[in-house]
Chains A and B, each alone.
Chain A
């Protein structure tokens, strides 16, 4: 398929355009905006739930952690407790490191072959961008609670304080807005600039990035330049959250674009790769202890197989065994 980025861009542009268009029809705004938001929400929740349940209901027949350090064996050899966990608790620690710090990405090195050498270099750009993007996203998501909850929870104020350590500009500049865009921007750039990554990319990979960029751009615009009717938007959001949607006048068209982009992202998430956020918790190469030889792992469907039994084997090899003087099993003779 040619022009994957462009196709993805068109797909991502549709909700944005729809948002702008909707703003032209005052009568239709409330019912359509509310309907889309509710539908997306349902889709999101049901979709994620069914996907996670399907994973969770699929058995883990074998305990197959990828070991990334010394095992626990002899008492005097120091094991790598987190990279090669020997207990459930240690495996939990490994998962925490993976989910909070992206441990595995932190190992990343770039490898290259020159004429007669292999060259490795530290390559932490991806790790840094991923950390920036994910943590900023979480922060921004939590900050948005100020729109959906009344009274605004105290921790939201705390987070906002944390997020704007220096008082510049008005409204205050949030660091997470910058790091979010920087992170997504780098991921985007990388997908285009690295020929190998570009080669493996699908339409949906670009789509996710365009949606995130669109959401970020419209959000940032509204906060710093658009002078939008924040109180009105909050009224709408609160209305949605309390199942009695209302829509005051004077809401910026950009808001509808923002809203629809978020809705499309919410619909895309359960069926696409963003499910890695839930999947990583269940990854059998990471969330299990490497203690197979100490604690037996049970396979619920342990397949019955045909084997070549000792009795059959001895029968077939009796003469050879006798001539070699290897003792026979008397009972089978």
Chain B
């Protein structure tokens, strides 16, 4: 096994942290955003440049822009102002960050990541900092500081693990978000964030799938599902007057293993006879705006309510995605609501009224499905998942920005016979990030991703060794994209799947043929003679 990455120096270097500079070596940073993407989104300072170059081609008055931007945000966000003021540097957050654990770089301790900004805050916005300078922990804003911000704010996945342990709830993710917002003001952004954002804005989804290809993909999925189950399902797009608008992350239409989750959704919706529709305009639930600025997040998110209104649906159902749900749970209603043109979601199958979403009117599919199972409205045959020994990875956002912990587990326990939890310190609110969230999941950043994902991978290794686990289930599109290479590197032999893929495997459908394969087309452990009973 490859161990060379984990030659981590446990001790910080001698001297002061203000004296070290980031080393932009390949594998630890993401490429800059292209001028076209910036221009399309009307963001400032479009130009060709790369972080590894000396000259970042900042605008002439970059310092003034940053300081004005900081001032504005200090006045707009209590979180930001408070978090700048009250950290006691106790270090409780330090060894909570997967990037610190995996890289040993002290500036990846959440507290120091925040100090990168805090030191500048002290210098320009506090009396003691202005008067006593370095003695008060203040430092000048220089181009080197800007580079350092860029390096470390794009080595934070905004996972909030540090915030769980901080005695004051200081959320370094929030500080990173503001830090990235500031960098955006002078055109220092990454393409892996802004390219999907631009495509989402222009075409409707991150992958830039135009309407006709979306239709082709969904048609293809219908054919494939028919081949596996013998049941032909109907997939409406843009159907006016449907009861429910379904919004999923676009990777589900296009990429594996996400695609098998899509098959799971389609099978489920057909089986329960749901009156729903996809949308080509709002064909993205994910929101890479979250990784760039609050404004961009709002611009991308606005589509969902606009489309729900146009299609005159009653409520919205959302697919498996992590950061999408951070946006929906914490921002959507505030930013783009009130959704007074919709109704409080009621399950047309079970009659359950989902009062906890009565304002946003958007329900998570795990909540929806858990209710179906609990009310006995679907038949499941968990033996069809017997070839999988499953563990569950809590994605950061549903865990720490929502608290969606039990619903997916309930589904898994009903859909699988072999389910094993990873160690307590690595699941639920303690969950470790995949290491590639918040727009860091690009190939040029691979070394950092492998490092950041190390703690998660070790927990998977633990259940693999103790319980022969060979599948990690999750409810996040970024996880599904980035955990397979991570696990292949650290824990070969463990695959990644969505919860609704496993549900789709187990789902007993009316009129189906005996299943010989799972949704991936892999043979079942025991081929079925006749339709099984739950």
Please list the residues of chain A having a beta carbon within 8 angstroms of any beta carbon in chain B.
1-2, 7, 51, 54-55, 58-64, 66-74, 76-80, 83-84, 86, 98, 102, 104-105, 107-113, 115-118, 120, 126, 130, 194-197, 199-205, 271-276, 279-280, 282-286, 290-299, 301-303, 305-310, 313-314, 316-317, 320-321, 323-327, 329
Instruction: Report whether B360 and A292 are in contact in the complex, using a CB–CB cutoff of 8 Å.
Output: yes
If A199-B12, A293-B360, A308-B303 touch, whether A303 touches B294 (CB-CB below 8 Å) is yes
Q: Which of B160, B166, B204, B356 contacts A73 (CB 8 A)?
A: B356
Closest to B455 in A: A118
Smallest CB separation, B90 vs chain A (Å): 6
Closest to B301 in A: A307
Instruction: Report whether B3 and A115 are in contact in the complex, using a CB–CB cutoff of 8 Å.
Output: yes
Q: What residues on A are CB-neighbors of B338 within 8 Å?
A: 296
If A60-B79, A292-B333, A308-B303 touch, whether A66 touches B164 (CB-CB below 8 Å) is yes
Across the A-B interface, give the 3 residue pairs with the lowest CB-CB distance, nearest first: A71-B403, A279-B86, A285-B169
Q: Which of A74, A77, A320 contacts B352 (CB 8 A)?
A: A74
Could you show 21 A-B contacts with beta carbons less than 8 Å apart?
A55-B78, A55-B85, A59-B76, A60-B77, A64-B79, A74-B370, A74-B371, A80-B403, A107-B164, A113-B102, A200-B109, A201-B89, A272-B128, A273-B88, A279-B85, A291-B356, A293-B360, A305-B302, A307-B306, A313-B281, A317-B210
Smallest CB separation, A190 vs chain B (Å): 8
Closest to B91 in A: A197
From B47-55, B130-138, B267-275, B504-512, give the one contacting chain A: B130-138
From 188 to 240 in chain B, residues with beta carbon under 8 angstroms from any chain A beta carbon are 201-204, 210-212, 214-216, 237-240
Smallest CB separation, A38 vs chain B (Å): 21
**B377 at the A/B interface (Cβ < 8 Å)?**
no
Total count of chain B residues near the partner, CB < 8 A:
123
Once bound together, how far apart are the Cα atoms of A147 and B219, in whole Å? Answer: 83
Give per-residue flags for B286-310: 1 if the beta carbon is below 8 A from chain A beta carbons, else 0: 0000000011001100110011001
Instruction: Report whether A295 and B402 are in contact in the complex, using a CB–CB cutoff of 8 Å.
Output: no
Instruction: Report whether B135 and A7 are in contact in the complex, using a CB–CB cutoff of 8 Å.
Output: yes
Once bound together, how far apart are the Cα atoms of A280 and B354, in whole Å? Answer: 33
Once bound together, how far apart are the Cα atoms of A73 and B407, in whole Å? Answer: 9
Instruction: Report whether A326 and B167 are in contact in the complex, using a CB–CB cutoff of 8 Å.
Output: no
Q: Can you name 9 extra interface pairs (CB under 8 A) apart from A116-B1, A292-B333, A302-B334? A: A118-B101, A199-B17, A200-B112, A202-B89, A276-B167, A280-B86, A280-B168, A294-B358, A320-B210
Q: Which of B215, B239, B406, B429 contacts A67 (CB 8 A)?
A: B429
If A197-B89, A302-B334 touch, whether A314 touches B281 (CB-CB below 8 Å) is yes
Instruction: Report whether B295 and A297 are in contact in the complex, using a CB–CB cutoff of 8 Å.
Output: no
Once bound together, how far apart are the Cα atoms of A80 and B76, in whole Å? Answer: 31
Instruction: Report whether A58 and B16 are in contact in the complex, using a CB–CB cutoff of 8 Å.
Output: no
Q: Is the interface of B mostly helix, strand, loop or mixed?
A: helix
Q: Which of A84, A109, A115, A325 contacts B215 (CB 8 A)?
A: A325
Instruction: Report whether B210 and A195 are in contact in the complex, using a CB–CB cutoff of 8 Å.
Output: no
**B500 at the A/B interface (Cβ < 8 Å)?**
no
Smallest CB separation, B142 vs chain A (Å): 17
Q: What residues on B are CB-neighbors of A54 within 8 Å?
A: 81
**B329 at the A/B interface (Cβ < 8 Å)?**
yes
Give per-residue flags for B331-373: 1 if the beta carbon is below 8 A from chain A beta carbons, else 0: 1011101100000000000001011111110100001001100
Instruction: Report whether B425 and A120 are in contact in the complex, using a CB–CB cutoff of 8 Å.
Output: yes
Instruction: Report whether A292 and B8 are in contact in the complex, using a CB–CB cutoff of 8 Å.
Output: no
Closest to B18 in A: A1
Instruction: Report whether B211 and A196 are in contact in the complex, using a CB–CB cutoff of 8 Å.
Output: no
**B443 at the A/B interface (Cβ < 8 Å)?**
no
Instruction: Report whether B81 and A55 are in contact in the complex, using a CB–CB cutoff of 8 Å.
Output: yes
Smallest CB separation, A100 vs chain B (Å): 12
Instruction: Report whether B302 and A307 are in contact in the complex, using a CB–CB cutoff of 8 Å.
Output: yes
Instruction: Report whether B166 and A104 are in contact in the complex, using a CB–CB cutoff of 8 Å.
Output: yes
Smallest CB separation, B373 vs chain A (Å): 11
Instruction: Report whether B164 and A104 are in contact in the complex, using a CB–CB cutoff of 8 Å.
Output: yes
Instruction: Report whether A67 and B399 are in contact in the complex, using a CB–CB cutoff of 8 Å.
Output: yes
Instruction: Report whether A116 and B299 are in contact in the complex, using a CB–CB cutoff of 8 Å.
Output: no
Instruction: Report whether A84 and B167 are in contact in the complex, using a CB–CB cutoff of 8 Å.
Output: no
Once bound together, how far apart are the Cα atoms of A306 and B405, in whole Å? Answer: 35
Smallest CB separation, A261 vs chain B (Å): 19
**B495 at the A/B interface (Cβ < 8 Å)?**
no
Q: What residues on B are CB-neighbors of A117 within 8 Å?
A: 458
Q: Which of A62, A64, A126, A280 contacts B90 (CB 8 A)?
A: A126
Q: Which of A86, A111, A205 contacts B96 (CB 8 A)?
A: A111
Residue with the greatest number of chain A CB neighbours at <10 A, chosen from B101, B169, B281, B356 = B169
Once bound together, how far apart are the Cα atoms of A105 and B170, in whole Å? Answer: 12
If A104-B165, A105-B165, A296-B337 touch, whether A196 touches B330 (CB-CB below 8 Å) is no
Q: Which of B215, B401, B458 contacts A326 (CB 8 A)?
A: B215
Q: What residues on B are CB-neighbors of A202 within 8 Å?
A: 89, 136-137
Smallest CB separation, B366 vs chain A (Å): 9
Give per-residue flags for B133-160: 1 if the beta carbon is below 8 A from chain A beta carbons, else 0: 0111100000000000000000000001
Q: Which of A68, A104, A201, A324 contacts B400 (CB 8 A)?
A: A68
Q: What residues on A are CB-neighbors of B87 within 8 Å?
A: 273, 276
Instruction: Report whether B16 and A1 are in contact in the complex, using a CB–CB cutoff of 8 Å.
Output: yes
Q: What residues on A are CB-neighbors of B430 within 8 Å?
A: 107
Residue with the greatest number of chain A CB neighbours at <10 A, chosen from B87, B102, B425 = B425
Closest to B161 in A: A66
Once bound together, how far apart are the Cα atoms of A329 and B239, in whole Å? Answer: 11
Once bound together, how far apart are the Cα atoms of A232 and B336, in whole Å? Answer: 66
Instruction: Report whether A108 and B92 are in contact in the complex, using a CB–CB cutoff of 8 Å.
Output: yes
Q: What residues on A are CB-neighbors of B260 within 8 Å?
A: none
Instruction: Report whether A113 and B8 are in contact in the complex, using a CB–CB cutoff of 8 Å.
Output: yes
Once bound together, how far apart are the Cα atoms of A67 and B397, in whole Å? Answer: 9
Instruction: Report whether A326 and B334 are in contact in the complex, using a CB–CB cutoff of 8 Å.
Output: no
Closest to B106 in A: A199
Once bound together, how far apart are the Cα atoms of A325 and B214, in whole Å? Answer: 12
Q: What residues on A are CB-neighbors of B212 within 8 Å?
A: 320-321, 323-324
Once bound together, how far apart are the Cα atoms of A232 and B174, in whole Å? Answer: 52
Once bound together, how far apart are the Cα atoms of A110 and B280, in whole Å? Answer: 47
Smallest CB separation, B429 vs chain A (Å): 4
Instruction: Report whether A58 and B78 are in contact in the complex, using a CB–CB cutoff of 8 Å.
Output: yes
Instruction: Report whether B77 and A58 are in contact in the complex, using a CB–CB cutoff of 8 Å.
Output: yes
If A273-B88, A294-B356 touch, whether A113 touches B454 (CB-CB below 8 Å) is yes
Q: What residues on B are CB-neighbors of A130 within 8 Å?
A: 90, 167
